Chain A
Amino acid sequence: MTEKPLLKRFPILRVILFIGLALAIVSFIGGSVGAMLRDSSPLGFLATSPPQPELPAEKPFASLFITNTMIASWISILVLFGLFFAATRKMKLIPGGLQNLVEFFCEVAINFINDVAGKKWGKLFFPVCFTIFLFVLTNAWIDLIPGFGTIKMNGLPLLRNANSDINVPLMLAAVSFCFVEYQGFKAKGSSYLKKFFNFGLLACGFRQLFSGRFKNGIKDTFMGTVAVFAGFIEGISELIRVISFTFRLFGNMMAGTIVVMVMIYLVPWVIPSLFYGLEALLGFVQALIFAGLTLGFLTMAVTSEEEAS
């Protein structure tokens, strides 16, 4: 028995596809692209102003320092808190509904983190990693709610994707960096610092040089210099991580926002919906990358070299 094509099995799909295509064509002709081709202004009902993305977060209240990204991140925090509070308010041994859902995601995250970092460390890392994941994800997805960016206050958008304000990715990167260094130092004590300031071999080389053992002295001095340089590189790479964390998230989110804005300007109907889907996926991936890299760096920081090998 041969399978019928999807479109033949569900005729309604054909109708939806046809309507979508028609809307896309209409909006293409009537939108800004069509206007450029026709050498006139876009048709009235499809006219949108050209996107003017701003990198710094806008301050909709002139007298206050509150930015629109702050308000958005507060909303994210309220949403997350509300979700968890509602799920854990009346916990039952046999879970149902919201409790079941939240428990499921928490358990998946706990298992994932335990797999990477081990049970002992996983327990410590879970709150920070999972909160970073949830915060980035909620910020990204809350931006996709229709109408989110269109509320205006004093001519400026009242809400904006918090991830697209560089302060938020930088703040998250700083939190991640501080937590990694703190856990590394806590796990290994002062020997953690040896990773960055490795003068032991160099000092040994100098001692040998001054005591007359030139052959070993030169060898150890050379190796010691290499070790010092490697420690320096290690330190720099830790700091560069913060920058790469920041700009990865900021760039992706900002670019995503701009792409959606541009698509809405060019072809107002249908096509932006596809980019909305892409944005939803991108938000998830970015949240996963941010939390996953933090987890990876944490695991690397607390695992000693002997254990790793």
Chain B
Amino acid sequence: MAGLGLDLPTFISQLISFLILLALLTFFGYKPIRAMLDQRSRKIKESMEREEATKKEFEQGQLTAQEQISKAREEGQGIITQATQIGGKLKEEARGEARQEAQAIVDRTRVELERERDKAIDDLRREFVDTSILAAEKVIRETLDKEKHRSLIEETLKGSVTFKEN
């Protein structure tokens, strides 16, 4: 056996060396590396879960936003309809007012016209009286009391006007 080199001190020394190596590698190598590998896999798992949650949240948010948009659209549509209705009403009112005003103008104008017409009739009547007097003077060549004539004719005309008015 000695020829092979078996030697107890060498064996023990090598054993101690190996055990030291085992201890060193365990504490400075395997433990931190194992911890790091575990930590990394945990981190990856966590981040994947977080990503999943974020995705779900995003989808939920998208759904809510969609709902809100459609709600807002409906509301907007309602507001527009209401506004159209109000507008229509306002237009109607404005139209009514305008019509009334126009009616008032028309009425006023009619009164004015009537007054003008009466006046014109009066004027015409006076003219006619004068003309009649002149004509009568000429016809009968007789000078008559002018005032007497006038009143005569006035009476006659009045009689005709009263008739007309009736």
Task: Give residues in A with beta carbon < 8 Å to B.
Answer: 55-57, 65, 67, 69-70, 73-74, 77, 80-81, 84-85, 87-88, 91, 93, 95, 102-103, 106-107, 110, 126-128, 130-131, 134-135, 162, 165-168, 170-172, 174-175
Contacts and interface: CB of A to CB of B under 8 A. Distances in A.
A93 B7 CA distance: 47
B13 A131 contact: no
Nearest to A165: B5
Name the 3 nearest CB pairs between A and B, nearest first: A56-B5, A84-B29, A88-B32
A165 B15 CA distance: 13
A133 B21 CA distance: 12
B43 A93 contact: yes
Interface stretch (B33-41, B79-87, B96-104): B33-41
Contacts of B5: 55-57, 165-167
B17 A88 contact: no
Nearest to A168: B14
Contacts of A102: 29, 33
Interface string B20-62: 1110111011101110110110010000000000000000000
A103, A165, A170, A171: which has the most chain B beta carbons within 10 Å? A171
B163 interface: no
A167 B28 CA distance: 27
Given A56-B4, A135-B18, A167-B5, A81 B28 contact: yes
A129 to B, nearest CB: 11
A80 B6 contact: no
A65 B4 contact: no
Contacts of A85: 28-29
Contacts of A57: 5, 7, 10
Interface string B110-151: 000000000000000000000000000000000000000000
Contacts of B40: 93
A131 B33 contact: no
Contacts, number: 110
B36 A80 contact: no
Contacts of A91: 32-33, 36
Contacts of A174: 15
Nearest to B16: A171
A130 B21 CA distance: 11
A57 B34 CA distance: 37
B6, B10, B25, B32: which has the most chain A beta carbons within 10 Å? B10
Contacts of A69: 10, 14
A81 B32 contact: no
A70 B17 contact: yes
A171 B21 contact: no
Contact of B15 (A80, A103, A106, A175): A175
Contact of B33 (A77, A103, A165, A171): A103
Nearest to B14: A171
A56 B10 CA distance: 11
Given A77-B21, A93-B39, A127-B30, A166 B14 contact: no
Nearest to A77: B21
Contacts of B37: 103, 106-107, 110
Nearest to A131: B22
Contacts of B43: 93
Given A87-B29, A131-B25, 20 more contacts: A57-B5, A67-B7, A67-B10, A70-B10, A70-B14, A73-B14, A77-B20, A84-B24, A88-B29, A93-B40, A102-B29, A107-B37, A131-B21, A131-B26, A134-B25, A135-B18, A167-B11, A171-B11, A171-B15, A172-B18
